[in-house]
Structures are given as structure tokens and as C-alpha cells.
Structure 1
Amino acid sequence: MTVKVSERDDSHMSHEAVATGVRIWDVYQQDLLVGMFHNESDAHNYKAELEILEQQRQQLQNQ
């Protein structure tokens, strides 16, 4: 499973959001958007959570 965090490009945000300085971090799981966060650390915490859940799922399958 691939999970990645990236800061949203200004071209993918509204003019209002760009004007007010809003930043958004997207979390992708296997190239699908699964979360959006205003705080980068929250995005990375969610990424870690997804990775832990995937590890647990794989362990259950291997039993």
C-alpha cells in the first residue's frame, strides 16, 4: 500500500483560499484522495494511522 502526503497546489484551490493564505495537505492512498487537512502534522498522523491499519490487516490475513 502506498500512502503519501502532499501540499495542495494553489492551482487546485479557490481564489479565496489562496488569497486568505489557506494551506491544504492531501493524503493519498494508492493514488486516491482519502483525506484533506489544514495542518501538515495532522496529515502525517493520518498517513501513519493508515499504514498501521494496513499492517494489522496484513497480519490478520497471514494467520
Structure 2
Amino acid sequence: MTVKVTERDDSHKSHEGIAAGIRIWDVHQQNLLVGMFHSETEAQHYRAELEMLERDRELASR
């Protein structure tokens, strides 16, 4: 699938976010940022939802 979840590295966070220890999980679909979450679990749920929608679209187009 074309959906992936990655943890945002410190170079892409604000200084305040780094100091507060905030972790951000990015969700990318076809190399485009489509969501940002403070919980990896929420990001993974969103990834699964997007993958399901992709599968449904592929099946509908056949």
C-alpha cells in the first residue's frame, strides 16, 4: 500500500515541542502528508482506514 506512518524527527519539530518532549506521528499517503497525531496508535488506526479505502476504490474500479 501507499500509506505509511513515521515518527517526526526533532529537526521537523518546534523548539518548544522538543523541550516538552512531544512526539508526533505523521501519516503519508502516496508521499503526501495526510495526518499528524500525538499517538502512534491513532496514527496506525488512520493508516488502516486509509488502506481500507484504497482497497475499496481498487475493487470498485475493476
Structure 1 runs, 4 residues or longer, greater than 3 Å off: none
Q: What residue in structure 1 maps to residue 54 of structure 2?
A: 54
Structure 2 residue runs of 5 or longer lacking an equivalent are: none
CA distance in structure 2 between the aligned counterparts of 1:4 and 1:59, rounded to whole angstroms: 21
Structure 1 vs Structure 2: percent identity of aligned residues? 65
Number of corresponding residues? 62
TM-aligned CA deviation for residue 22 of structure 1:
0.5
Using the size of structure 2 for normalisation, the TM-score is 0.96
CA RMSD in angstroms, aligned pairs only: 0.7
Using the size of structure 1 for normalisation, the TM-score is 0.94
